Structure 1
Amino acid sequence: MNTMLLSGKRHYFTKASNSFFFIILIVLCIFQNPIEATFDYFSYFDEILALFGFFYLILHHKKIKRKTQKVSLMLFFFLLLGLISSIMNPIQPISIIIFDAFLNIKFFIAIIYGVSLTSHLNSRPIAKTLEIIIVCLAILTALSYVTNIFSAGGYRYGIKVLCLFFTHPSSLASACVTMLGFLFIFEQRNQKLVLFSILLVGMMTLTMRTKAIAAAGVFFFFLISQKKGTKNRISLWQIIFAVFLVVIIGWDQFQYYIVQNDSMARSALLTTSIRIAKDCFPLGAGFGTFGSYFSAVSYSPLYYKYGISGVYGLSTNYTNFISDSFYQMILGTTGVLGFTFYVSILFNILMIFKKKCGDCRYFYAFLFPFIYLIICSIGESAFVNSLAIPIAICMGYAYKLLDRGNYD
């Protein structure tokens, strides 16, 4: 009797302590951007989380099932192709190549870190923490429109842009997406799930970022179009309509920044990435040479070679828009082959979740953040952005719960 009682207390304490540390992790993930803006050393937070995932992959690679082994193998070949290209095109120093290579794969490693997290938790205190954070942010949102307490966001379409204490509206939108994912995992009561989801999607929309508005539209579309009581499968017509919805919402921005304006950084990066892919067919120019943060740290000579070093945001004096793209970076640095592998990896991850989803909200905890990143990838660094790492952890943890028993 005493042994059973002691065992029960240990089990309770373990779940309580796990829940406590999980709450800390979620809070740090949500407020990563404002904390990083205050404490410079916190900028390595996402890299540290990704490294945990890397060590877990090494120590527990035998637990990775056949379907995830396929993704791991494709990721390995993507990395190998980029390194071969970097050797064939010795443009950047070895340190830049290594750092940029890690930048390209850290999203997937962060998913593995999410898988490594324990599922022995108490959902209620985690859900309660999320509820409190969402309510506080909602109150601050209301205050920001009544007063000028937060005015850094400016105006778009005549509407005040919501930014709160985040450094950029996109950072707030990413935090909302992270909370939305974890909310679907831990909130057990449907009424509260709907209420707090609406609050989060509303705050996303008020950031007035096209990608956030498009993601909000897709979010409501999938919820409304899903038949109650059926398995959470994605049908072809849902995918077609979701793509149509995103195109309609973002068409003006897409035309202005990417298609019709060669003086814009994104448009210049797109046309140049295609030229690089042709000139360096099929492997690209190598890691750290184009469209990434590290291509600005060690300013890549390719920007001079292809005549875009004078474009606003791509110059040596002002490099803020160099990493303002994603597919352009992948195409330019790893070529057609690397681009094909990367897109295939994303598709296979979606298929793994699609085949596992039943009557379970864990699938939505994966789907909505993933859709948001897909939309973001059209016009920003998306999957290699530090703000994508909390989203990746949420996706990985959702997979763990769907595949419960294979990792604990």
Structure 2
Amino acid sequence: MSRYTVVCRTKKYGVKAIITIAILFILILFEVLGGRSYFDEILGLCSMLYMILLLFARRLTNEDKISVLLLLTVICIGVLSNIYSKINVSLYSILIDLVVESKFLWVFFGAKYFVTQVEMKDVSRILRPFAKLFAVTAMIFALISQVVNIGMTGSERYGLKEFKFFFPMSFQFLAVAMVAVAVISNKQSRKNYRYYICMCIALILATKSSPLLFSVFFLILLVYFKKREELKTSTLVILGILVLILGTFQIQTYLLNENAPRYLFFYYGGKTANTYFPFGAGFSTFGSDQAARNYSELYFRYGFNGLFGMNQKDGSFLSDTFWAMALGQFGWIGFALYVIVYIRIFNSIKKVKLNLEQRAFCYAAYAAQLIHAVGSAILSSSAGVISAIAIGMVLGGSYSKNRNKK
């Protein structure tokens, strides 16, 4: 099957590869500028329609077909929850939240099927020099920032200054770092390790839990997959213990503290799921950005309007967690199905033929974002969409290679 190409000097690049790079560039530009845009929501909506078309055209693998159907079921449960609870009946608000809270998965699947092996090769050829430069300069500036204030650091933790590079927040830096690692890992080489080390040093100096987890997971798995091809249960247990050790501060401060906003969201998320069982409260009602913007009726009921960072004037903590949102809005059944979709994606990584660097990246990047979602809304953010594209296009290239063999 022929493909559309763009000729640059003497080299040809696929149009789909150019589109992928353009999408990444726009998303990253908005992260650097720090301004809010609806580009990631538009991308999420387009990806949803794209995957539904592929579903009806029977172009999905059986595994992905089940995951997409489960995701559509969760969305239906969310809408039914709105009808059942009657807390938010604004069609516009519901549709916006519907896209926002599912866009990570839609964009992941979209990238996986849009970016084939050929496109991934083109993307890597174009972006590899920039990715390497990004890794090296990030490490250099991260080290300099520890002794000289060059405007790339934030708060201080563990005696180290939080390095953000030229992004407003460290999680945005992590998302772009994931793209860089995804691009570099497409062609396995021992020389790549120098760039991985540079990237991980810069991310560790970000001092936040998600960059730290990704770096540690990635480096450990790079060594692990040199000796073993599959991730064993015992290894997952060890990594889980490592998560608890590295996240002790966050767990004690945010999840075990009864006055912490994240604790309150998990507590009242369960209470909401019980109140509106078997459904939840519905889209735009609890823990989401739309619920904060419209200041949900539930927040008055739970007394959030009298709490710092959770009231109508200052709602900085109102959309600070993802999983609690899913529990409150979709209920116990919808939450369980939602979690199953994410678990199915994690399990699917081992079924794809990847080189060891790609395998280490996919596991580390995906796990880091899922864990990060406990204490943030990363999976419904534009930065999360960037990481979804990075993971999706790595898996997509290998999936297309496997399909072509069949």
Candidates 308, 313, 319, aligned match of 1:317: 313
Point out the more displaced range, 59-68 or 150-159: 150-159
Distance 2:283 2:18 in 1: 39
Q: Secondary structure at the match of 1:155?
A: strand
* Pair 1:243-2:251 in alignment: no
Distance 1:207 1:283 in 2: 39
Give the corresponding residue for 1:176: 177
* Pair 1:368-2:369 in alignment: no
Equivalent pair of 2:378/2:384 in contact (CA under 8 Å):
yes
Distance 1:87 1:13 in 2: 55
Give the corresponding residue for 1:3: none
Distance 1:72 1:59 in 2: 11
Q: 1:215 and 1:152, CA in 2 relative to 1: closer, same or farther beyond 3 A?
A: closer
Q: How far did 1:19 drift?
A: 5.2
Distance 1:293 1:315 in 2: 14
Point out the more displaced range, 62-71 or 308-317: 308-317
Give the corresponding residue for 2:199: 200
Q: How far did 1:125 drift?
A: 3.1
Residue identity in the other structure for 2:190: N
The alignment's TM-score, normalised by the length of structure 2, stands at 0.89
Residue identity in the other structure for 1:372: A
Distance 1:205 1:374 in 2: 18
Q: 1:17 and 1:272, CA in 2 relative to 1: closer, same or farther beyond 3 A?
A: closer
CA deviations on 1:200-251 (whole Å, 9 max, x unpaired) are 11111111112322332222222223343x42x1101110000000001112
* Pair 1:69-2:65 in alignment: yes
Q: 1:128 and 1:151, CA in 2 relative to 1: closer, same or farther beyond 3 A?
A: closer
Distance 1:182 1:86 in 2: 41
Q: 1:49 and 1:305, CA in 2 relative to 1: closer, same or farther beyond 3 A?
A: same
* Pair 1:117-2:96 in alignment: no
Residue identity in the other structure for 1:162: F
The alignment of Structure 1 onto Structure 2 pairs a total of residues equal to 393
Q: 1:282 and 1:9, CA in 2 relative to 1: closer, same or farther beyond 3 A?
A: closer
Q: Secondary structure at the match of 1:68?
A: helix
Distance 1:366 1:69 in 2: 21
The alignment's TM-score, normalised by the length of structure 1, stands at 0.88
Give the corresponding residue for 2:46: 52
Q: 1:18 and 1:283, CA in 2 relative to 1: closer, same or farther beyond 3 A?
A: closer
* Aligned ranges 1:184-333 → 2 under 5 Å: 184-185=185-186, 187-191=187-191, 193-228=192-227, 230-231=228-229, 233-259=230-256, 261-333=257-329
Q: How far did 1:188 drift?
A: 4.1
Give the corresponding residue for 2:149: 148
Equivalent pair of 1:215/1:375 in contact (CA under 8 Å):
no
Unaligned runs of 5+ in 2: none
Q: How far did 1:52 drift?
A: 3.2
CA deviations on 1:373-406 (whole Å, 9 max, x unpaired) are 1220121112112211011112221222121254
Q: Secondary structure at the match of 1:196?
A: helix
* Pair 1:104-2:101 in alignment: yes
Equivalent pair of 2:287/2:322 in contact (CA under 8 Å):
yes
Point out the more displaced range, 147-156 or 382-391: 147-156
Equivalent pair of 2:132/2:180 in contact (CA under 8 Å):
no
What is the identity percentage for the equivalent residue pairs of Structure 1 and Structure 2?
24
| Coordinate RMSD, CA, aligned | 2.6
Q: 1:372 and 1:12, CA in 2 relative to 1: closer, same or farther beyond 3 A?
A: farther
